[in-house]
Amino acid sequence: MIRFHEKDKTFYLGNDNISYIFKIMQNGQLEHLYFGKKVDAQVEAEHLRRDRSCIGAPDTFENNLDFSLDVLRQEYPAYGAGDYREPAYQLRMKDGSRITDFVYKSHRIYQGKEKLQGLPCTFGGEADVSTLEITLEDAKIDCQMVLKYHVFEKLSVIARSACFQNNGDETLYLERALSISMDLFDADYEMLQLDGAWGRERHLHTRTLQYGKQSVSSARGASSAFHNPFFALKQPHTTEQTGEAFGFSLIYSGNFLAQAEVDHYDVTRVSLGINPFEFEWKLAQGESFQTPEAVMVFSAEGLNGMSQTFHSLFRNHLMKSQWSKKPRPILINNWEATYFDFTEEKILSLAAQAKELGIELFVLDDGWFGARNDDTSSLGDWDVNLSKLPNGLDTLATKITDMGLMFGLWFEPEMVNEISKLYEMHPEWAVCVPGRKKTLGRNQMVLDYSNPEVVEYIYEKMANILDCGKISYVKWDMNRYITEAYSSALPADRQKEFFHRHILGVYALYEKLTTRFPHILFESCASGGGRFDPGLLYYAPQGWTSDDTDAVERLKIQYGTSMVYPIASMGSHVSAVPNHQVARTTSLKTRADTAYFGTFGYELDITSIPEEEKEEMKQQIAYFKKNRDVLQFGAFYRLQNDNDQRVAWMCVSEDQKRAVAAAYKVLAKPNPKLRKIRLQGLNPQWKYRCEETGQTFYGDELMNFGLICETEFTGYMTAPDYPGVHHAGTDIGDFTSQLYTFTAIEK
């Protein structure tokens, strides 16, 4: 999958689907030539490039107007020697200069993939991945840069990262260290990004590339709910099913920058990595710095093709948990049923009812520890609250597991309240600047995870709880971002390392706990979807998609999230109505039909709902168990999104024998037209039976003509003046959904 042609100094990376080509230029730096659909460039790729004269551009070589870094497309560029675009990296020397000259020294090609120390990253064996490591060196400062490229045999993916190694006597300061930089030939693209805020995370937005820089980023200490560490570039005519698209995603949970810069010749520079704002890393002699890994996906089959590649990559080569390929248990969480106000008796009654309904996992949320009765106290005091649970946590866990349920527990391990025993003992462990005003969020402060002592303390407290052996699931929450970024454990000249060191500490705790308790299913959470990123998928194979559980809002949230993240990674629950986030009332059916496309669970007081709703829940749970493997691990297709009013999507099993499609309507229209959706991913020559209607169709009929959906309400069904009105439609009112389950019955 990787070749080097010595004669023209060109590297060829690729597989049966893609090609990625770049070469060593005459100045020893690297020139990007091509990334896209497979091309048969076997030995020479000169036809993929062309020198151009540029009046006024700096000449790398005297009197050679055809070679200027100002106009060349590069792989990992620097600033200051003719290229005025934003660089991939920047180093500062002792004398204050920031001009470097890293040139090719050597390369290594091997099968397999090595782990990145302290960082989440993709993985694969010798049969899955080929690796190229290129070493470049700046001899003047005796510093090396190693660019790492990984090609996956069966996926249209290139993974990249960079490592800096200071071998010299002089201390260096790394001011910028992105994971990837790549220059595309032109700017004929639209940029897709996932933006939002609390309660409306990862909404899909599209803009046409313009001259200059267009970017999304975070400087909050986490990837954030406001922008996701992902963007895509698609051609204007690209749709969900057809056309070309590039997707870029950073396997990182901290501050990031994702940027497309269009220069004066319409070349688009793609940049992705740690946000240079508030970043610096001291490299003393012998020290190194490794950037997070970024992945680049190419699709010639539209946005669905791009998304399915991300899904497959993350499921098979990123989620290291043994749960990555296991069916996720149907859970109930007590949060919206009780909030902080619960007793052991109430919890046991919820669990008993959950078991009767067919639920598989009971999760005890916030309030079980310390003196926690509201959000003002006790974070950091990870000991059981005996006033609520007088028989202890182990006894409660035993009683629930004896019912035949799994038992799960909520933690917020990265935080501390000022009203807590931990803060009394160690106020210096809270992130703040001594002598300055502290900014609180949700009445809490962030623990300094750049300090290994803090990480070890929290690890021991959590491990002591989890050692009981009765806990099968952990919900790991994080309810505020970082302010007053400062660590009492770091010297002055390393304070700008804080943000990165902090997230490395979070990863270290995840690594220790997931290694010690591999049987536990970890779910990440951050005030909902405030840190839903690939970095955490490495440790926690599912994340709480959003605190907003309203079925209508979840259509937009889950639609956008699916651009990058697998369905089995999305925590999705049926909650009470009126909804606690938007006060909207939707049917139990619509809530379940939306939540099916995720991990699926409930979050409401099931002991107080009507008996007919309990019976409906039993049917929902039975349906999900029957189709869970298709919904959680099948190929996902987005079929329709008509201005967020008509949404449709589906999942198809790997063998194409089963499929589940869903069509959603937000607001009803008077006397509407018939609606149909074209399905995807079926075998065109097989006949399928629809479980809900009893009708049979060939796969090509469903994909080429489509499925005519339930008829929408067209007028009065019965009225004194119109006693004979018929066929007025059964899809009545706002916020409705239709589910269609298909099984192949003959070839």
**Cα separation, 231 vs 192, whole angstroms:** 6
The dihedrals phi and psi of 338, each to the nearest 5 degrees, come to: -130, -20
Amino acid letter for position 685: Q
Question: Could you give the CA distance from residue 336 to residue 732 in angstroms, rounded to a whole number?
Answer: 29
Could you give phi then psi for residue 154, rounded to 5 degrees?
A: -110, 5
Q: What is the DSSP string of 668-726?
A: --SSPPP-EE---S--TTSEEEETTT--EEEHHIIIII-EEPPPBP-S-SS-TT-TT--
Helix, strand or coil, per DSSP, at residue 270? strand
Cβ distance 247 to 306 under 8 Å? yes
Q: Which amino acid appears at position 249 of this protein?
A: S
Buried b (16+ CB within 10 A) or exposed e, 295-306: bbbbbbbbbbbb
Q: Assign residue 730 a region: left if phi > 0, alpha if psi is -120 to 50, beta otherwise?
A: alpha
What are the tokens at 158? 């290139």
- Selecting among 477, 533, 548, 593, the annotated active-site residue is 477
Contacts of 671 (CB under 8 A, 6+ apart): 714, 715
H-assigned helices in 318-405: 335-338, 344-357, 392-402
The pair of structure tokens assigned to 592 is: 């379940």
Rg of the chain over all Cα atoms, to the nearest angstrom: 27
Asked if residue 481 lies in contact with residue 415, where contact means CB atoms within 8 angstroms, the answer is: no
Active-site residue 644, yes or no?
A: no
- Alpha carbon of 128 to those of 122, 142, 151, 155, 634: distances in Å? 11, 35, 8, 9, 21
- Token pair 């220059």 is found at 183
Query: CA torsion angle for 628, 629, 635, 637 (degrees, to 10)?
Result: -10
Q: Which of 70, 138, 547, 550 is catalytic?
A: 547
Coil, strand or helix: which one is 618?
A: helix
Calpha distance 20→552 (Å, rounded): 41
Query: For residues 161 and 113, is the Cβ–Cβ distance under 8 A?
Result: no
Q: Which residues contact 272 (CB under 8 A, 6 or more apart)?
A: 178, 179, 180, 229, 248, 250, 256, 257, 258, 259, 294
Q: Which two tokens stand for residue 114?
A: 């090595």
Give the integer Cα–Cα distance in Å for 549 and 600. Answer: 11
Between the alpha carbon of residue 95 and those of residues 82, 242, 678, the distances in Å are: 21, 53, 64
With CA atoms as reference, report the closest residue to 460 among 542, 516, 543, 408: 516
User: Residue 600, by phi and psi: left (phi above 0), alpha (psi -120 to 50) or beta?
Assistant: left
How many angstroms separate the CA atoms of 328 and 568, rounded? Answer: 8
Q: 């070469």: which residue's tokens? A: 23
Peptide bond into 578 cis (omega under 30): yes
CA distance 92 to 563: 38
Residue 574, number of CB atoms within 10 A of its CB? 26
Q: Are 646 and 664 in contact (CB under 8 A)?
A: yes
Beta bridge partners of 621: none
Q: What is the rounded CA–CA span in Å between residue 395 and residue 120?
A: 36
Active-site annotation holds for 266: no
Residues annotated as catalytic are 477, 547
